[in-house]
Structure formats: C-alpha cells, structure tokens
Amino acid sequence: MEYILASVAIVISVGALIQTAKAKTAVNTLKTDLDYLEVQNKSLKQLVEDKTNLLGKQIVKSSQGKTISTYEIKEGTLYDQIPAQEAQQLIEQHEDCVIVDVREAHEYKAGHISNALHIPLGEIETRWEEISQTASHVIVYCAVGMRSASVSEFLSKEKNYNNIHNLKGGLNEWPLPLEKPASQYTRFVPEMTAAEAMAMHPRAREVFASFHLGGCSSCAIAEDETVGQIMHNYGVEPEMLLGTLNSLLDGEKVEVEIPPEADLSKEMSQ
C-alpha cells in the first residue's frame, strides 16, 4: 500500500512540475508578446508623430501660397522633384530663382549650370545660409540626383525651406550646354581627366561605356584619372577610343553599342 501511495505521490508531483513548467512557458511567451506589442506601439506612435509633423509642415507651406506637388504627397517629402524641362522654365520665368550645385569642386569645374551656386554636399551643413530662403524657387542638382535629394531633404526638413526642387536625373538629364572655364583641350587627348572628357561632349559617357569603361562595378573609372591611365588600366587601344571620341567633335555620325549591364546614370568614383 505504501508503495502505491508513494507512486501516486510521485505521479502527482511530476504532473505538478509539468504544469508549472507549462505555466512558466506561457508566462514567458506572454511577456515576449507584450514586449513586442510595446515596441510596435512605440514605432506606431513615432510613425504617427512623424506623419503628423510632415502634414503640419505641408499645411504651413500651402498656407504660404506654395503648391504641394504630387511628388511631395506620394513620397512624403517637403521638397519637389522636377525634370530638366520644368527646371529650365522656372529659371527662365523667375529672375530670383537660385540654382545650387552640390557636387565636388572638380565636377563643378568640369561643367555646371550657368550661375549655379557651388556648395558641395560635405559643406552644406555649414554653408546652407548662403542659399536664399526668400527666393521663389531653389533648384538643387548633382550628377544623377542622389546627393541633391539628400540636400533637398536637409534644407526642407531641417532648415524649413519651402521652395526646394530637386533636379530629377541631375546633370545627366540636362539638355543645355554647361558653363565651364575655358578648357586647355580642344580635342580628346590622353592627358585630360575623365571628368574633363565627360564634360567635352554629351555623348562621351556613351562612348566610354561602349569600351566597357564606366557604368558598372567591374569597369568603374574615377573622375580624376586621366584618359591615358584608364586606357592603360583596361588595355584599350588609344587610337580606337580617342578616334571615336574625336569623331563626335568632328560632327561625324557615331554609333556605339552600350553593354546591357552598363548604367549611364551611375556617377563616377571620386
């Protein structure tokens, strides 16, 4: 009898332990769920707060007579993004329109939009006050539109500018001639830098890409490299590349085959 009672007691004890373990597991699971919900709740609160602040700023902008663009509403920004044609119209129609070039110095020297104020991306936090907040429009641009988007976000969100337009596609999409210092080169030569070569003719980038020079990670070129260095590094015959490039200057019809992996919107490395 004592053996039976002892066995029953053991069974009861084991059962109790199992139930206790299950209860602890359930409690831990519940705690984990509560912690997750708390994190989600905080994230949701932050999201609501951010959206509310954005909406408030957009309302203020609208009350000041500024148009809220479809881009701003869709992307949740306080700046607009416009194509080159629209940017040209703003420049022509508004004498006080400010143009800001946020590229590096060597890029700016190679060619820039006429009358552009040059403030490199790395200097914008200390020089932003040079940009007029009372201008009717401020157009910000870089090479392809990525650096300028960052500056546009900074100016509109952190410094409360309500007149910012990011140039979509950057200078790659700009159809008009660029302003630049008188070049020492009248032809494509090995001594010129890649940046100088790209600035000499709007189709130069296409020609380089057709020789697998630039436009992809495996054939990247740097702006401060000379054309001669680039040709040597990639084993390109000078007469082939330079001959094709100079044909552009001579007004000849030049047809090139651009590799499918090449992305002409990619900026060259610095």
Q: Mean pLDDT over residues 255-259, rounded?
A: 86
State the residue for tokens 């047809």: 255
pLDDT at position 31 is 65
CB 100 within 8 Å of CB 117: yes
Top pLDDT among 5 and 111 is at 111
Instruction: Characterize the bridge pairing of strands 98-101 and 138-141.
Output: parallel
86/256: higher pLDDT: 86
Residue that the structure tokens 């609208």 belong to: 62
Give me the half-sphere count of Cα atoms (radius 13 Å) on the Cβ side of residue 209: 23
Of 236, 241, 180, 175, give the one whose Cα is nearest residue 206: 241
Which of the four pLDDT bands, split at 50, 70 and 90, describes residue 250? very high
- In the chain, % of residues over pLDDT 90: 50
Residue 90, pLDDT > 70, answer: yes
Question: Do the beta carbons of residue 159 and residue 126 sit within 8 Å?
Answer: no
CA distance 261 to 243: 24
> Percent of the chain, pLDDT > 70?
71
DSSP string covering 141-191, please? E-SSSHHHHHHHHIIIIIS--S-EEEETTGGGG--SPPB-PPPS-SS--TT
Report the mean per-residue pLDDT for the chain: 82
- pLDDT band with cut points at 50, 70 and 90 for residue 185: confident
Question: What is the arrangement of strands in the sheet containing 80-82, beginning at the earlier edge strand?
Answer: 80-82, 164-167, 138-141, 98-101, 117-118
> Which range, of 28-37, 64-73, 136-145, averages the lowest pLDDT?
28-37
Contacts 24+ apart (CB under 8 A), 216-222: 216/259, 216/261, 216/262, 216/263, 216/266, 220/268, 220/269, 221/194, 221/268, 221/269, 222/194, 222/268, 222/269, 222/270
pLDDT at 217 over 60: yes
The pLDDT score that the predictor gives to residue 264 is 66
- Give mean pLDDT, residues 79-83: 94
Could you give the dihedral angle defined by the CA atoms of residues 10, 14, 19 and 22, in that order, rounded to the nearest 10 degrees? 170
**Amino acid in the structure at residue 263:** D
| pTM tops 0.75, yes or no | no
| pLDDT tens string 94-115 | 999 999 999 998 888 888 999 9
Could you tell me if residue 203 is left (phi over 0), alpha (psi between -120 and 50 degrees) or otherwise beta? alpha
If you classify domain 70-173 with CATH, what class do you get?
alpha beta
Name the band, by pLDDT with cuts 50, 70 and 90, for residue 256.
confident
> Which residues face 167 on adjacent strands?
82
Average pLDDT of span 122-146: 95
Q: How many helices (H) and strands (E) does the chain have?
A: 10, 5
Which residue would you say has higher pLDDT here, 244 or 71? 244
Q: What CATH number has the domain spanning 182-270?
A: 1.10.3910.10
What's the pLDDT score for residue 72? Answer: 77
